[in-house]
Amino acid sequence: MCIRDRVKSAQPDEVAMMLETAQRVVIVPGFGMAMAQAQHAVRELANALEKNGTEVEYGIHPVAGRMPGHMNVLLAEANVSYDLLAEPDDVNPAMDSVDVAIVIGANDVVNPSATEEEGSPIYGMPIIEVHNAKTVFVLKRSMSSGFAGVQNPLFFRENTRMLFGDAKESIGLVVSEFKD
């Protein structure tokens, strides 16, 4: 059995349907957002959610992307208010009250192995604990590991669904479905 067959995948209409009823959403951008240049699509999604009455926050890991502050710069380019950006220490304590966490191409910075598997090469690294959210949607092109080369058990969790494809395209499809 292929590793991709062991995960639960989602389609854009399913993601939009879950987002419709969400009260609180945390968006966690990573290198995949940068590669797809999806920051404007992410902001469009956040605008649609906010218009629907959803509280939207961005979980920003200091080392997400290829350099410290990479996500901050990209989101600033898309006119995302700096006030909506939260670091792990700020967003993690309330993650269990998050209805939907949307992970966009981040991998190592949301990998629960860092807190749960003592033998893991990333054990002890601070992460954004999206696995504690009620539902997690992970947008990725493939099941490949992140920069650290460590498989991410988040992808196989009961509360996680994978939306495969280019982040900009996938978010655009979710926004279209959400607006319909």
Distance CA 43, CA 40 (A): 5
pLDDT, tens digit, for every residue of 110-135? 999 999 989 888 899 999 999 999 99
13 is catalytic: no
Q: Catalytic: which of 83, 89, 108, 180?
A: 108
**Per-residue b or e along 57-86, where b marks 16 or more CB atoms closer than 10 Å to that residue's CB:** bbbbbebbbeeeebbbebbeebebeeeebb
Residues constituting the chain: 180
Q: Within 10 A of 17 (CB to CB), how many other CB atoms are there?
A: 13
pTM to 2 decimals?
0.93
Q: What is the pLDDT of residue 1?
A: 42
The type of residue at 11 is Q
Find residue 79's DSSP bridge partners: none
When pLDDT is averaged across residues 31-57 and rounded to a whole number, the result is 95
